[in-house]
Structure 1
Amino acid sequence: MSKYYKITFLFTGLLILFYKPIKELYDDIIINPILSKIESNIAIDLIFIITVFFIIRKIYLNFINRSYISKHQWLFSIIVISFYCYIRFYQNYDFFGFTFFNSFKYFDVLLFYFLISPLNSILSAFYKKKIIIENTDHLFDDSPIKSENEDALDRNYKAQRISDEIFQSKTNEAIGFGITGEWGSGKTSFLNLLKREIDNKNSEKDFIIIDFNPWLNLGVESIIQDFFDTIQQSLRPYSEDVYREIKEYSNSLLNISKSNVADSLKDILGFSLKKNISSDFKSLNSLLKSLNKRIIIFIDDFDRLQSNEIFEILKLIRNTAGFDNFVYVVAFDKTYLNESLKNLNIPNPKSFSEKIFLKEEHLIPVTQSQIKEFIKATLISKIESKKEEIESYFGDNYSIFRTESNDIPLNHLRDAKRFLNSFVNDYLQIKDEVIFEDFFLLKLLKFKFYDIYILLFLHKDKFLNNRGQYYGNGGSRYHLKNRYENDNNSNFRIRFREYKNSTLGKFMLDQLNYNEENVLKVGKIMNTLFEINDYQRRNHLSIVFEKNYHKYFKDNLKIEDLSEVEFNTALSSDFETIKSKLEEWKNKKVLDLVKYRFYELNLDEIDSKEEYEKIVKAIFYFSNIEVTSSFYGFHFIGYDNTTLQNFLSNRDNKVSDKFYNNTQEFKNFILSILNNSKSPYLFESDFLNHVIDGNFNAEDFILSEDEIKELLTKYLRDYLNSSDELSNKVWVLFHNCKTITRELNAQHQRVDIYNYFDGVQELLIDFMKKDLDNFLLTFIEGMPFRGSSQYDNLVGVSHGIKNNIFGSFDAFEDWLNDINENDLAKPTLFKEEFLEFFVKCKGVNFNKVDFEFKFQPAIDKLKLLER
């Protein structure tokens, strides 16, 4: 019975028992001198009418909100109403009524207030909420298990053994059992199994089970108070004497702890109590023995406490509450416990804890095989229609779940449950548009390595490559980009042997500071998704095919933020209206969703040339919108190059025949868009480079190779003419002005050769005179982790000078020596020092050398490379 019931019954009983003297006192103090002098009038009528209005409003709101009415509210309301009715109709009081209706008394309004609870319950009975029969809840409960039937880890046998040991223990002092395990290893679930086993054996009621959770408290004193309050309430049914004695003992402890807690933490053996406390302990210990019962106290969430709180619990177990018939079962992470004791400067913390616990039972971490079987069984139970596909994926030979590889990125069942909660509902929304295997792996990546997932979502072209190969119904297929693809000595067909040598793997190591272990885990998923050579294994719905890629990320978009109606309405408007709408969507931060809406547009669903041209112009306008993200900072929203190329593809004249009189008319439209693009031309340059860089097919694209080269050269020339300083944009536009050919090298290997368009290198060389020192700075290359050893301090000259710009180091040296400083846009402060450095590198065949720069920007650049 709660304290509210107790208080209500106490005051009701006192009111009945002392009704007559209370009534006389009420008459003398309230009725005769005050209330008897009041007369009914319009002003009082108005006050009580307003009160009635607010009471009715309260009833209405409670009904609308389905407010919960507790049994105590019912009881209290009935008691008040009963007392009022008794006084109103059976006592000789003259109640004042409303002036317009005297039978309705002012105090009846107060009675009406206490009718709120009963009226709400009665009204709610006539309006029951519809119960949805179909179970659509696919969330997996992460609460601890409570029965043997839920024991997925087969630990109940161990719970039976420990319960036997507890029953058989016959020591004359308190016993401590430690249940140890890492976070998420299922300690709470194991405690529940152990309680169940003890309860099954406790037929003679010789044991009293008590649960204590110290994590609910806010400090040492609160823990002590709550501990003894919990013991006190649990043992009260067995002895009122024990109840009172525990109360006195805990009060004595708390009085001491207020002044001595800090001091006690300094001394390992600081368990000594004052003489009167020791006497109280012995007295209580003797009284507890007289119960003739063993008291088992389960303590969970022990390893969520602070160091001083953990120490206080250990003191309770070992001394201040170490009563002879007490058995403590405590679940904790042993490593965390030892670290906490170490933080308190306690020597040999491991040995110290072993003195507290007679036995420690370590829960073996969940195995990868158990995680696999748990996920498999859960998915089949929740997605029965895909049972065959799920069973096939989780076959014993599937590499991502081979137990000996130790590469599963889910470490325990809590991880598995949380992953399932994020996976199941997402998969059910799209299960017929994707294949289970790819979606599962991608969502594993999202769950454990979200930053890598978001890179694939927002910046696919930076890390995946589409070489234009065509594989039946699937279409062009994506691969992981090779980090060496831009080197003249590499070949796309010579794939990287290790994931860390892919562009994404290198980015993880150098930019995101991933450790080798996690790079390997991500690599296993990425290689399985994108690097399997057996193309026949890939279902036509696989993520590797460009037409499917974006489907796999739909769950990452808040569809409700941009309805289908809103998007289609905007698209049916004129181009200027679409531009305004795009700016509005930019402010609402839903451009990523807009991009995916564009990706889903189908050429077959477009009916006219005007509509097609409007959409194409909208895509180019959209792609050039400037946005800011937390990861990449300021950048253009961009667009998927392959998707756009397919949308503009005129293979078999499918666009020109449908919308135009001839191919030239279609070409003129595309040229008008590309020629009228605005500086810095980055999106258009990237797109055209994508078209011509290994993907070009005269039948696929409306522009010829020469026309594309001319446009790319124009973008570079126009930007260089309008700019005075070197920036990353210069390098992007320059490197986009090249094509790839494959040739045999001296070792008879096919390698990629990059051929820059005629005249573009001369454009860049001429532009170097505008900002020479910054160009020279870019030609300095340091070690990636400079400063870790003497060899990592070496610096060298970029081979891009030879490979990409001048054709040879000698040509560059001659050009630099021949520069007339009067031709430079601004004086050079670095040329002579750089030449000295260059000559030194030349003397060792352009390997890296030890060189101390004096030019401060060079020093700053190398400083950034240090660990």
Structure 2
Amino acid sequence: MKLTARQKIIAANISILVSLIAICIFFRGPIAQFLSIFFVRPVVSGFENTGPATIAMLAFLIAVVSWMWHSGTRLFNLAVASIAVLLHLTQRWNPFWSFYPFFGSSAIYIWDIVVFALVLPSLRQITKGEGNSIDADAHKGFIEEEPVRDESGDSFKRGAVAARVAEMILATKNKRSFAIGIVGPYGSGKTSFINLIRKGLPEADVELMEFNPWSTDKSENISRDFFDQLAHQLYYLSPNLSSLITTYSRKLSRLHSQGEQLMRQFYKFSSPEKKHDGTYHQINQLLERSDKKLVVIIDDVDRLYKEEIMEVLKLIRNTANFANIIYLVAYEHRFVQEAIKSMNAEVSDSFLDKIIQLEIPLPKREEHDLLHILEQGLQPVITAEHYISLQKDIIEHGFKLEFDLSFRRAFRNSRDVIKFMNGFKLIYGPMKDETLFPNLFILELLKFRFVEVYDLLYDERSEWLSLTPASSRHDQYYELIEIEQDGEKQLAIEQALGKYIKGQRVLIRSLLRNLFNDYSLQKKSKHSIIYPMYFERYFRFRIAAKDMSEHSFKSHWREGIQGMKKHIDQLTKDGLTKQLTDRIFQENPTNRQDFELQIQSLFYIGPKYVAEFGVISFDQSALINRLWDTALELSKKFYDGSSSAYKSFLEHLLKAAEPPFLFENEFLFDAKRTSRELPLSKTEMTAQQVEYFQGHVSRLGLTDDAMWILFGIRYYYEGDKWHFEPDIIPVAKETIVQHDPIHFLRYSIHFDIRDKRRVMVEPQILEFFDNANALRDFVANHTLVDARVKEDYLRFFDKWETAGENQLVDYVFLKELSRVNQNKGEDD
């Protein structure tokens, strides 16, 4: 059995180590005397075996070991440990020595502690795999595209075919060069296949030479560089042969001047040149008699310029056409054929057959080989949850199934997979918790294959995407716009895909439909790309200042209401009130805890929302829909059918409110008008509104907000006609007497919606008085009303009364009585 070079090195090292140990044991006495003379007596013998000295020695030893632990290289630490262990094994029980005991111990000596400490750093590196941090942390960096080196990396199972090729190379007895073409498209694994062939070519039987024509500065120098490398490589095999090759190369260089035409060379391919001075025949004879077969590997021929390709072909067929040489040439057949045609269009397609005796198309990979590479590459990078999603949502759902949404042709070769993984790893880290994994993966796949479509999707989204109509903003999502073309439906974005061939357009359509049409997955995941609030972050690869972090939201959600309150306080300060409100609405709770957390969070952010955007800006109808308990469905779902438990939760939430109560009162106002079934009766809701009015007035006075609350305590009849609730009338009558009624007077004025100069007394305001004159007397006799305001109001009242009740009159009020922001905010 013949050993490889690596096995020979390992065997040699083991032999040296065993020999060294044997020498140290055999010469234990002389070594001890040597150490005693040059190290122990001048240095160690002066050591005082006292407690303080031992402690000082231990402190020094700790410092040395600490440096080795944190800064020592694997090789240095291993060398120190090896020397220490070697000396310990050979000298520890040598009667020549007398060791100091460790703090009086009869079994442990200071020398034992020193050896143990010096071994620790190396032991740690070996057990934890340190010292090779590049390998250990390889998944943290980019994935290097490396060809397969041996069977362990043979993902496409081409090793058996490669081994058969190697076997036949060894068995071939060729009188002239034999060229084997390894044929396949770009990135298909030609280099890897050649490496697998090499594994079957023993060093003892084969001299391998890799020639790289890319490194040659000019095409006419390819031949000279080839023979120079060949001469150098064969020198140790046969100096005489090396010298002959050098001579042969120089004669060829003189014959073929730089001015020789390539076309002239081309016609000589099929007929060998005359060999000069017998040099060729001498080389041929020596190679033929050689015990070693020469295998020359020339990779990536199809990436050369056409003139360079012609030079390489000439080299194989003519000038280096020696016995016992096998050429392994990797190329894509079409490119090489085009290079030949470009030199002479009349040459037949079979011309290459005269140069390459055997073409081996790469064995086809199995359908799922590339997916295996993808899984292996991403598994150490992505979370366990995302790895499951990769297998289920991406591989099973997208790559393996053959239907309209399949993108099984997205990867063309292993090089595509590696390039994609490097791009995906770049953005995955910062975005993994902020996006939906399948969305991020598929969008990156679109960018990898069709970057122009990716840019179009972002830059011109209004042309290709539409927002679904919905009653609430948080329920809106993007969907692909479809148009009818030649009687068939197609995506609007397909109008911009004219440059792509049919197969590419099908793939683009599949990727886009996976992004925007797979609603079962995406609507459930509220941070998916279909929601406008999250769309842009998929393209920015970061969270912008005005973006809400999904990761942070989920973290605070898991902390319960206290965590959500903290989150709400921070995001409202950051100007993200609307985004956070929409995100809370998007939650779809499946248990009582999450349901109550959602409602509590909405009632906590609601007052902040209306304070920032106005009372009527909050989507109260969406909130009421969340609380709708039709046929006790919600009570059954979250409260085991107990509507009283649900009612108790809602009552507690309403009573825990803090002034000014605008949000809560508006909720009750809308809830009373809706037909939705809630656990609270309208009478109970009205009673709560009255409490809000009283609580607001007692703490803040009869403010503009108090009047808004008051006007919300009403009931409707016959459509939009309304009256104040009877329970609020006595409370309000008492309140307006005890407080400055300036805001009450403002609200008592009805302004025409088209012309603010046309005014009248609000009809419902008279419900607080026996008649209209009672209202006039109230204003005239109220001691807290400013005199100017009183005079202004009475002048208006008299003009209105003269015109007749329910009649608009022209009147311009002083500033104090003008109603500003009457609607308390606008709908978004």
TM-score normalised per structure 2: 0.49
TM-score normalised per structure 1: 0.47
Which structure has the larger Rg? Answer: 2
